[in-house]
Amino acid sequence: MKRLRILLSAHELSPSQGSECAEGWNLVTRLAQYHDITVLYARGSQFAPNAYETAIKKFYSENTNEYNIEFIAIPQPRLTLLVAAINKRISKTGSSIGIPFLYYFGYRQWQKEAYKTASLLLKSSSFAPGSSPGQAFRLSLFALVHHLTSINFREPGYLWKLGVPFIWGPTGGTAKLPLKFASDLGFRTQLSENLRNLVNAIALRFKKRITEAIKRSSLIYTFSQEDLELFKLKGAKSVELMLDAGCQSPNLAVLQSDSLTVSQSHRLKILWVGQLIRRKALDILLNAVSGDPELEERVEITIVGNGPLRSRYQQQISRLGLTNTTITGWLSHEEVFNHMISSDVLVHTSYREATSNVIPEALSCGLPVICHDICGMAIAVTDQCGIKVPLESHEKSVTGFRQALRIFIAPQPATGNRHPATFLREGALARATELSWDHMANRIALDYARIANQS
């Protein structure tokens, strides 16, 4: 494969943080094995304006920039920082972005600065005499540009205006929560979901930057079937499914052969990881277990995470009498990894998410997953590595997760037959290889070469 010069936009980029920062870092550093990478990234988040640059400098003070990635840090604009200060002061959500409207207003200002920087980089290119306008990009500094993070479709940035082949994604976020499920969660949640759907509909219909980015993209990666169909309907040339989260390749040396067998202890070890917020829906797991006497007796639940609903869930655990349930708070990545190695199943109850990083990471530890059959989870988890529960209503979700958990405490089959849990653990390792950052980067690198050759 011929090495190409690629310009990436990754607002979130850090070797020491998770979520979209991890996506940006893991893909940028791996794509550099195949192509010459220049990446525009935010110097820091809106609430920590220097955090990303500090983390990257620290990393490369201890490691070699083997592939000579060019990192261009773009500071948060003054207007963004002003709005962020107001956002942080009035926001009571405890989230990393505060009030979404204010966050995305500030984010858009950063994207304008990224576009200015990219334009200057392209203007530094030299074109051969006699080149027609249609041929100019072929001789430009970069073969193509890729808007990588953040992933929400409502903010495509401005790099699609550069006149260079443009790739966008993974992106998405148009999937709707079923009305029955939303109504089960109460009036406030139903109102919030209706407002979200309205904002998405308005953005898709009236926000010209979104429709132009869709039409001008040479390729869009998206993390759900719903998003794929919608982007095609809006005129996208090419759309492919790709998760927004990956994992390290399975470390088979760490996983001993006996870790692939069903736990022979009396208790089934359940792991739950995430923010203790409404949409992560931890209560589904708690209610699923408490409604079944055998599960109550047989399971041990470890909840890794923190958030505004921690005290509420702690009270629910006490009220339901789930004595073998522990909330640990946030743990280091190594500690979470150790919990994954020693657990029997990861339960992921979120009712709306792109693809949680915890799912591919769990699979890389040979840990089967029980989750809702939605968004990125519907793609990441197959019948060979987990169990997906239809998202229809809160009551049906509780029943579905309960039935899935019962599979793991079923008696050992007759001699010669594998327990379903053993089959799923083996399948988890195989699926993790397909979902690894290495596999994802290789696929994107090949797409870069294909699109550049077509241009």
Type and span of the H or E element at 264: none
Q: How high is the pLDDT of residue 94? A: 57
**Are 400 and 278 found together in one domain?**
yes
C-alpha distances in angstroms, 185 versus 118, 192, 197?
A: 45, 11, 16
**Are 325 and 390 found together in one domain?**
yes
Burial per residue of 69-102, b for 16 or more beta-carbon CB atoms within 10 angstroms, e otherwise: bebebbebbeebeebbeebeeebeeeeebbbbeb
**Are 326 and 186 found together in one domain?**
no
Q: Are strands 386-389 and 36-42 parallel, antiparallel or unpaired?
A: unpaired
Q: How high is the pLDDT of residue 207? A: 87
**Are 344 and 211 found together in one domain?**
no
**Are 181 and 53 found together in one domain?**
yes
**Are 322 and 339 found together in one domain?**
yes
Tell whether 205 is covered by a domain: yes
Q: How high is the pLDDT of residue 191? A: 77
**Are 206 and 228 found together in one domain?**
yes
Amino acid found at 307: G
Report the half-sphere exposure of 222 (CA within 13 A, side-chain side). 25
Nearest to 434, CA basis, from 254, 241, 252, 247 = 247
C-alpha distances in angstroms, 188 versus 112, 287, 310, 411?
A: 35, 21, 19, 43
Tell whether 80 is covered by a domain: yes
Q: What is the mean pLDDT of each run of 10 residues along the chain (455 residues)?
A: 94 89 94 96 94 96 95 96 90 71 92 94 58 42 92 91 94 78 70 79 86 96 92 95 85 51 68 91 95 91 94 95 94 90 94 82 93 89 94 92 92 67 86 92 96 88
Tell whether 59 is covered by a domain: yes
Q: Which residue in the block uniquely carries the two structure tokens 């709306």?
A: 352
Q: What percent of the chain lies above the pLDDT cut of 70?
A: 88
Our measurement of the distance from residue 359's CA atom to the centroid of its chain's CA atoms, rounded to an integer in Å, reads 10
Strand locations in 367-424 (E): 369-372, 386-389
**Are 407 and 450 found together in one domain?**
no
Domain that holds residue 283: 257-434
Q: Angle at which helices 394-408 and 420-434 pack, to 10 degrees?
A: 110
C-alpha distances in angstroms, 250 versus 46, 335, 364, 444, 452?
A: 34, 17, 5, 20, 32
Amino acid found at 191: L
C-alpha distances in angstroms, 90 versus 56, 76, 96, 103, 195?
A: 31, 20, 13, 12, 20
Q: Which residue in the block uniquely carries the two structure tokens 């005129």?
A: 235
Looking at residue 201, which CATH number applies to its domain?
3.40.50.2000
Contacts of 155 (CB under 8 A, 6+ apart): 104, 107, 108, 111
**Are 425 and 441 found together in one domain?**
no
Tell whether 363 is covered by a domain: yes
**Are 293 and 225 found together in one domain?**
no
Tell whether 252 is covered by a domain: no
Q: Tell me the pLDDT tens digit for each residue of 53-97.
A: 999 999 999 999 999 999 999 999 999 999 999 988 887 655 678
Q: What percent of the chain lies above the pLDDT cut of 90?
A: 61
Total number of domains constituting the chain: 2
Compute how many other C-beta atoms are within 10 angstroms of the C-beta atom of residue 116: 12
Are the beta carbons of 43 and 50 closer than 8 angstroms?
yes
Q: How high is the pLDDT of residue 291? A: 82
Q: How high is the pLDDT of residue 422? A: 80
Q: How high is the pLDDT of residue 282? A: 96
Tell whether 440 is covered by a domain: yes
Tell whether 284 is covered by a domain: yes
SS3 (DSSP) at 217: strand
**Are 441 and 387 found together in one domain?**
no
- Distance, CA of 382 to CA of 428 (rounded, Å): 9
- Distance, CA of 375 to CA of 350 (rounded, Å): 11
Q: How high is the pLDDT of residue 126? A: 45
Are the beta carbons of 358 and 364 closer than 8 angstroms?
no
Tokens read off for 81:
């920082």
Compute how many other C-beta atoms are within 10 angstroms of the C-beta atom of residue 305: 22
Tokens read off for 310:
């921690």
Tell whether 251 is covered by a domain: no
- Distance, CA of 233 to CA of 222 (rounded, Å): 14
**Are 268 and 239 found together in one domain?**
no
Are the beta carbons of 231 and 214 closer than 8 angstroms?
yes
